[in-house]
């Protein structure tokens, strides 16, 4: 898993390869016992100073890495119906988050964010983007007439991500397709009322 040992110097400009290697190493180590500044640097084949030159703390690296990964996350589907869209979106989101590697990373990020301001901001930004995605899905349904006009979508969105994070952090119940489907129906019922 260790990065290739050969990476050309880029002189006085920032070495993008080093930056990438650090972010990759940080994500690879997230959620493991080796999640250490020294280990991240070693894994990335980088001096520790290079890490601290560009990020104020280990947490900040994670914050950026998380933002980078956010792009790979479940896009808003378009199946033609709210139920279809919502079911699909939540299923993708739940199963993605429940994957062991992601699960550990997300848990540790949320945990660290409680004590690190940089990371708290990053988490706020990341979660806001995800909420926006879900909200846009629901708004489209409203425009289609599947949901009433004045519905409180923000609360519904928080109910969805609330279930996700609550189960992720406490671990008392599964995050699977079945849970996603039930939640999809429940949300539609509650918003539609």
Distance, in Å, from the CA atom of 139 to the CA atom of 132, rounded to the nearest integer, reads: 10
What would the DSSP string read from start to end of 14-58?
A: --HHHHHHHHHHHHHHTTSTT--HHHHHHHHT--HHHHHHH-SSH
Contact between 54 and 27 under an 8 Å Cβ cutoff? The reply is: no
**Binding of residue 54 to DNA (CB under 7 A):** yes
Tokens of 174: 């599964």
Q: Which of 73, 83, 98, 110 binds its own copies (CB under 8 A)?
A: 110
Q: Which does 65 bind (CB under 5 to 8 A by kind): DNA, its own copies, none?
A: none
154 touches, from its own copies, DNA, none (C-beta below 5 to 8 Å by class) = its own copies
Kindly indicate which of the ranges 31-39, 84-92, 122-130, 134-142 contains the residues binding DNA, using the contact rule CB under 7 A. 31-39
Closest CA to 70 of 105, 112, 19: 105
Nearer to its own copies, 78 or 117 (CB): 117
Which does residue 19 touch among its own copies, DNA, none (CB within 5 to 8 A, set by kind)? Answer: DNA
CB-nearer residue toward its own copies: 24 or 181: 181
Structure tokens at 73: 């996350």
Where along the sequence are the contacts to DNA (CB under 7 A)? Answer: 7-15, 18-19, 21, 33, 35-39, 41-42, 45-50, 52-54, 56-59
């Amino acid at each position: 898993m260790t990065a290739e040992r050969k990476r050309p110097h880029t002189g006085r400009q920032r070495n993008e390869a080093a930056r990438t290697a650090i972010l990759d190493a940080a994500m690879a180590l997230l959620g493991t016992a080796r999640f250490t500044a020294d280990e991240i640097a070693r894994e990335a084949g980088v001096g520790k100073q290079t890490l601290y030159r560009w990020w104020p703390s280990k947490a900040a690296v994670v914050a950026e890495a998380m933002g980078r990964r956010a792009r790979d996350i479940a896009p808003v589907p378009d199946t033609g119906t709210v139920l279809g869209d919502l079911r699909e979106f939540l299923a993708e989101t739940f199963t993605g988050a429940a994957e062991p590697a992601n699960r550990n990373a997300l848990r540790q990020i949320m945990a660290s964010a409680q004590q690190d301001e940089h990371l708290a901001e990053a988490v706020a930004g990341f979660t806001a983007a995800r909420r926006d995605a879900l909200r846009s899905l629901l708004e489209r349904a409203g425009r289609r007439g599947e949901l009433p006009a004045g519905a409180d979508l923000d609360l519904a969105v928080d109910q969805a991500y609330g279930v996700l994070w609550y189960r992720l952090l406490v671990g008392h119940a599964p995050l699977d397709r079945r849970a996603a489907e039930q939640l999809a129906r429940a949300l539609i019922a509650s918003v539609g009322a």
